[in-house]
Amino acid sequence: MAEVHFTDDALTKAKGKVIVLTGGAQGIGGSFVKIAYTAGAHLFVGDWDVEKGEALAASLRADKEASANGGTVTFQRVDVTNYKSQLALFEAAVAAHGHIDTAVPFAAGGEPRGFFEPETLTIESLQAEPTAIRDRLELNVLSVVYFCRIALAYMRNPDPDAAQRAYDAKEPMPKSIVLIASLAGIAQNPGVPIYITSKHAVMGLLRSFAPYAPVRYNVRINAMCPSATNTRMIDSLTESWVAAGLPMNQPEDVARYVLLCATDEQRNGNAIYISGGKGVDIEDGYVKTMPVWMGLQHTIDLQASREFCGLGDGWVETKTSWQEKKE
C-alpha cells in the first residue's frame, strides 16, 4: 500500500508559486486558498459565489500572520460552465505574473435529484428533457476538460523536443494540474449516478494525461479521491455519517494533499484516496495488483498493447477523418 504523507516541505515550496483555481470561495477549495496563501503563494481564485469569495480574500489580506510570507490573492467571478469566464481567470494570472505553476479545478456540484429514483423514473416523466443532468455534466465534466486544456496551454513547455529531453533526463517538473475526483471516482456509489459518472470522467482525464502531459508538455497531473469531507456539499449526510463512526475528512486534510501534489516535482499519476485525513495512492495498487484481478496473461497483453499504442501518435482518429465521416 502506497501511503502518502503530507510534509511541511510542501509549504516551503509553495512560496511564490502562481496558482489558478476554481471553486475556491468555500469548502475544500477555500481551505486550499487559506493554506497556500499563508505559505506565500499567489492565488487566482475563480468562483461564482462572489460574496463568499471576496470575503475570504479580504479576510486573508487583513490577517497579518497569514500574510507574513508574501502571499497574494485575486478573486474573480467565474462561472466554470462558461469557457471564456474560465479563460479570463488564467489570463489574469498570466498578465500579473507571466506564468502559472499550478492549476486546480475544485468547482463541482452534487447529484441532481429527481431523475432515477423509482417514483420519478416513469414513462410520463420522459416527456420533459432532463436538462439538469446535462447541466451537471457540464459543470462536473466539461468545465474540467476545458480547464485542463487551458491550463496545459499556459503551462506547457513550448518546445516539444526540449520537453522530451527534459523528461528523458528526469528533470524536476514544477508545473502541474491537480484534479479533484472523489471516492465516487473509484468505487461503487449507488444513488448518485450522475455524480459518480462525472468523477469517473475526472479519473479518465488523469489516466489519459498522466502518461502524456509530462512527456509532451513537462506538466504533471495528479488527482484527489476524497471520501466524505466536512463541507456543505454533504450537509445532508454529515450527522449520520459521524454517528455511524465512519471516518470524516476535514477540508484542510484534502487541501494539504493538493498542495503536496502541486509542489512535489516528481509526483505524477497519483490518485490519492483520502479517508479520515489519511491518504493512499490507489493508482499504485491498481497497477501492481492487475495480475490478481485480471490474470497474468491479460496483464501481459494489456501492457504490451499500451506500449504498442504509445502516446497515441499515428493511430488516434484524426480531426480530418472524423470531419470526413460527418460530411
Ligand X SMILES: NC(=O)c1ccc[n+]([C@@H]2O[C@H](COP(=O)([O-])OP(=O)(O)OC[C@H]3O[C@@H](n4cnc5c(N)ncnc54)[C@H](O)[C@@H]3O)[C@@H](O)[C@H]2O)c1
Please report, as ranges, the residues that interact with ligand X according to CB under 6 A: 22-23, 25-29, 47-49, 78-81, 106-109, 139, 180, 182, 226, 228-229, 231-234
Q: How far is the CB of 26 from ligand X (least distance, A)?
A: 4
Residue 16 vs 110, nearer CB to ligand X: 110
Q: Grid coordinates 468523477 are at which residue?
A: 199
Q: Which residue is nearest to ligand X (CB)?
A: 27
Minimum separation from the CB atom of position 187 to ligand X (A) = 11
Question: Residue 258 contacts by C-beta under 8 Å, 6 or more apart in sequence?
Answer: 28, 32, 104, 178, 180, 224
If the CB atoms of residues 112 and 226 are measured against ligand X, the closer one turns out to be: 226
Written as nine digits, the cell of 250 is 476535514
Q: Beta strand 3-4 with 18-22: parallel, antiparallel or unpaired?
A: unpaired
Compute and round to an integer the Cα radius of gyration of the chain: 20
Alpha helices in the chain (DSSP H): 9-14, 27-39, 50-62, 83-97, 131-137, 143-155, 160-168, 193-209, 213-217, 235-243, 251-263, 282-288, 290-294, 296-309, 319-326
Please state the closest distance from residue 248 (CB atom) to ligand X, in A.
Answer: 9
User: Closest separation between CB of residue 246 and ligand X, Å?
Assistant: 12
In terms of CB distance, is 46 or 214 closer to ligand X?
46
Kindly tell me which of 163 and 179 has the beta carbon lying closer to ligand X: 179
Q: Which is nearer to ligand X, 23 or 214 (CB)?
A: 23
Q: How far is the CB of 28 from ligand X (least distance, A)?
A: 4
Query: Minimal CA–CA distance to 220: which of 254, 187, 265, 188?
Result: 265
Nearest Cα neighbor of 264 from 33, 40, 22, 102 is 102
